[in-house]
Structure 1
Amino acid sequence: MRVAFFGTPSWAVPVLEALNRRHPVVLVVTQPDKPQGRGLKPTPSPVARYAEVQGLPVLKPERLKGNREFLEAFKEAAPQVAVTAAYGKVLPKEALEVPPYGFLNLHPSLLPKYRGPAPVQWALIRGERETGVSIMKTEEGLDTGPLYAVWRTEILPEEDAVALAERLRDKGIELLLEVLEGLPHLVPVPQEGEASYAPLLTKEEGRVRFGESAEAIFNRHRGVQPWPGSFFFHGGKRVKVLRMRPEPGEGIPGVVQAVDREGVLVGTGEGLIRLLEVQPEGKRPMPAANWARGHGVGPGTRLE
């Protein structure tokens, strides 16, 4: 199949690699270069970098809707099908109609649950025990299209958003290649069940909510990796939590119960949370116990 690929972050690169091994990739569409680093130098997306190294044609349109130049180039590439994986822009009707077999989207959730840009993160934050990956035919609505393939899996107890997203993507690649193999003969089935939405995370989503249960705090911690990460405040300064674990027991939410070699034990709405490794503002990562001793944190100290 002549394939056009739409994707942007490093998570999407293995999807493009797999397609490039099995099919002629006639066009890669990704987000425009973004300023990065101290000098704010415009930097290509990971997908753009891979495509350029492979000699694949790349487009980086600022917008798609009403963009004649993009639409003409897309038509000229003559893809039979297009694939999206974490592209990050809404696809207008005029683009969706270009490939004869439409657009396929690799979406890491059990659609219609967790439609939107952050499905893995919200599945973890909300304490789901099961998730999966869907290969969907894209329509104008947000992740509303019919499904070609779905794979279900249990979420592992310690799995964070980075590990789970990669595992779902890798299985999604297998499904995607199977779907492409039989695409001319496949009929997608409509989504069934109650829909939910997974919006982009905000920085505030990473704040540790000590009033919640220890399990909910740990689930949130897993879901906000790698960004915005978990954090709390002490003495008006932000302290990032790199590692934590829930433990049985009782305590006052946000109040330190004990500091020992292993870490800092803090009360929650139900159970205790042990801070194992932290990173104070402007400092390097360190064992939570070292941070506590260096900042006068002991039993009775309130963390916010």
Structure 2
Amino acid sequence: MHVFFRRHLETGEVLIDRLEVVTLSAGYPSKLPVRKYASQSDIPIHDWPDLGQCNDFDVGVVVSFGSLLSEELILRFPYGILNVHPSLLPRWRGPAPVFHTVLHGDQVTGVTIMQIRPKRFDVGPIVMQKECAVPTRCTANELGVMLAEAGADMLLATLKKLPECIENSREQSKKGATFAPKINIAMSWVNWEEQTSEELDRLNRAISCRVPLRTLWMGNTVKLLDFVDLRDLPLFPAVTQQSIPGTIQFHKESNILLVRCKDDWVGFRLVVLKKKLSAADFYNGYLHRYFQERTNDHNVWRFQTHKPEQSLAKRAKRNWVATHR
């Protein structure tokens, strides 16, 4: 979202004299909520990058916009263009700060309002910054809603005292900068041998709203849904700690599929193989003793860690070395 605010920001009781919105085109598949709201509210809409005449606005605001802005565009606005970013910059620069806050177990986060710099993301001076605690065991969606509300309040506070806030802005620290890349499917593959129950809990809370956790079973992709951290079940019966990572057990009383990871067990109530199955359905269809008694291959009763094939470049290098020995 990109918003223009016209002049007379501090005239009387009216904070904003004129508001217009810039979004991606109407054909964009996400059907942006901002575009829908602007249309319903009779707010003028511009399709990026065709902005038309925007020389009579004081300030621009971007939120999760995802496109680099030119110096020529920024200079059209006397107060520049502000960005509302859901992290304590310079930590978690990039497109997915909320996801990485949860994924890495940060206990503190916040919102930063900063000035945009041309042709670079999230590096401009900090105009306002507010710290807040990350709620225990929250999901990325829950944290995103909380930070969005805080960011909206901070933006209004900034606009009310815009000249003062701009004058008192400060450059970002050169220390502590981290990057938050986009969430992708590759992140969703569980490594049963290397990931702990705590890491899998954080991974699930961070990305499952966009991409479900995945594993392999007999060469087939299995999506793992409705994650259960066994710490939430204090009366859960003890299970053997000697099992190989990836080992599957079914707990009938709670209808949970247990899977051994690096240090402990985690649970799932639903899986998707060819279709969505409850833990009981998966057990009855694939893990029942009837099936186990018909094979001596115990690997069949484990989830396997997905190991991506080597890239063509690596394979080519390996073949070249072998050929030229």
Q: Same fold (TM over 0.5)?
A: yes
Is the aligned partner of 1:208 residue 2:190?
A: yes
Q: How does 1:1-304 map to 2 (within 5 A)?
A: 4=4, 23-34=16-27, 36=29, 44-61=31-48, 64=49, 70=51, 72-75=52-55, 78-140=56-118, 141-186=120-165, 187-192=168-173, 193-211=175-193, 212-247=195-230, 250=241, 251-262=243-254, 263-281=256-274, 283-284=275-276, 286-296=277-287, 301-304=301-304
- How many residue pairs are counted as aligned between the two chains? 270
* Number of the residue aligned with 2:234: none
The answer to whether the 8 A contact 1:34-1:45 is kept is: no
Q: CA deviation at 1:33?
A: 3.2
Q: Does the 8 A contact of 1:247 with 1:271 survive in 2?
A: no
Q: Distance in 1 between matches of 2:206 and 2:66?
A: 19
Normalised to the residue count of structure 1, the TM-score between the two structures is 0.80
Residues 143-186 of structure 1: CA deviation (Å, up to 9, x unaligned): 01111222222222321111111111111111111111111112
CA displacement at 1:86 relative to structure 2: 0.9
Counterpart-to-counterpart distance in 1, 2:257 and 2:278: 9
1:74 is paired with a residue whose SS is coil
| Contact 1:244-1:276 at 8 Å conserved across structures | yes
Q: Which runs of 4+ in 1 moved over 4 A?
A: 297-300
| 8 Å CA contact 1:259, 1:292 repeated in 2 | no
Which entry has the higher C-alpha Rg, 1 or 2?
A: 2
Which region of structure 1 is more displaced relative to structure 2, 146-155 or 232-241? 232-241
User: 1:222-271 CA distances to partner (integer Å, 9 max, x unpaired)?
Assistant: 11132122222323333322321334773422111443332011111122
Paired amino acid for 2:271: V
Could you tell me which runs of 5 or more consecutive residues in structure 2 were left unpaired when the two chains were aligned. Answer: 6-13, 232-238, 293-297, 305-325
CA RMSD of aligned residues (A): 2.4
Contact 2:15 2:159 in 1 (8 A): no
Q: Hey, what does 1:13 align to over in structure 2? A: none
Mean Cα deviation higher: 190-199 or 24-33: 24-33
Q: What is the aligned-residue identity percentage? A: 27
For 1:97 and 1:166, how far apart are their aligned partners in 2?
32
What is the alpha-carbon distance in structure 1 between the residues aligned to residue 288 and residue 17 of structure 2?
Answer: 60
Distance 1:221 1:100, change over 3 A: same
Distance in 1 (CA, whole Å) between partners of 2:214 and 2:15 is: 43
The CA deviation at 1:44 is 4.3
Deviation, structure 1 residue 35: 5.8
Contact 2:105 2:202 in 1 (8 A): yes
How high is the TM-score relative to the length of structure 2?
Answer: 0.75
Corresponding residue SS for 1:264? strand
Supply the AA of the counterpart residue of 1:267. Answer: R
Equivalent residues of 2:250, 2:280 under 8 A apart: no
Other-structure match for 1:11: none
CA contact (8 A) 2:15 2:160 kept: no
